Amino acid sequence: MVEYQQKKHYSIGDLVDIVRLLRGEGGCPWDREQTHTSIKSDLIEETCEVIEAIDLDDKELLREELGDVLLQVVFHSRIEEEAGTFTFDDVCDEICKKLIVRHPHVFGDVSADTTDQVLKNWDAIKMETKGQETYTDTLNSVARSLPALMRAQKIGKRAMRAGMDFRCADDAVACIAAEKAELDKAISAGDKKNIEEELGDLLFSCVNAARHLGIDAELALKASTDKFIKRFAVTEELTAKDKLDMKKLPIEELDVYWAKAKKIIESEEMDND
């Protein structure tokens, strides 16, 4: 058992100390064994749980989940401190300096009265500080580990800033039909590799259309997936009520139940409004 003073209220300094003790001699065997790689998925999971708390508008849950994300930051920093590369203080120092440098309209004498001006300044400063010499560099700097829809939307936005973009939302939407036609040709030809390529192009065109329409593609797909699950659940309830097994029904009969489920949900939503 390690010695540690119990408190009624803890601060960020206490969190750093607790992680140090957990990773130290006499601490927790599990915590001592962890590496950046072994816990990298935890950071993704905790971040998603923060988003969930925001979607639920649950302040208490948000406070808890933000703490879990902060723990991940402190934990990864501690691993590097043990390796002698950097500390949590260095992480704080770097982000503070970055914020000051990228907000010259606040901490300097640069003028930026609108959001567009702020973003243009931000992009210019970011290119300079990161040594990005071309617009292609800015596209390549978008993390490949991002969810595909999110990465595609961010790539499209950066290409737009370089002047490579559709003239309007109508053109972006029209591209969906064009890409769908190319996918149909690939399917007819039976070329699996080309089918995959054209399907990817179709998805990318949908993301571009979403961006031009002011829609977050990632959130839109998330909402559609949730809607599918809700409708699926009602469909299963309806079939079970008729003492039927979904998986044994032909798709034509399932479609009838699916349509009924849709009407039920729409009716409930109208009543709630």
pLDDT tens digits along 201-239: 999 999 999 999 999 998 899 999 999 999 999 999 999
Give the pLDDT band of residue 131 (cuts 50, 70, 90): confident
Burial of residue 241 (number of CB atoms within 10 Å: 0-12, 13-18, 19+): exposed
Rg for the chain (alpha carbons), in Å?
A: 25
CB contact at 8 A, 236 and 229: no
Q: Which residue has the higher pLDDT, 270 or 200?
A: 200
pLDDT for the residue 171: 95
Domains of the chain, with CATH numbers?
12-99 (1.10.287.1080), 104-131 (no CATH), 219-272 (no CATH)
CB contact at 8 A, 19 and 78: yes
Checking 1-9 for CB contacts under 8 A at 24+ apart, the result is 1/26, 2/26, 2/27
pLDDT for the residue 229: 96
Query: What is the rounded CA–CA span in Å between residue 63 and residue 253?
Result: 47
| pTM assigned to the model | 0.69
For 209, the token pair is 């259309």
**Mean pLDDT within 250-273:** 90
pLDDT for the residue 81: 97
Q: Is the pLDDT of residue 3 over 80?
A: no
Give the pLDDT band of residue 86 (cuts 50, 70, 90): very high
**Mean pLDDT within 57-66:** 96
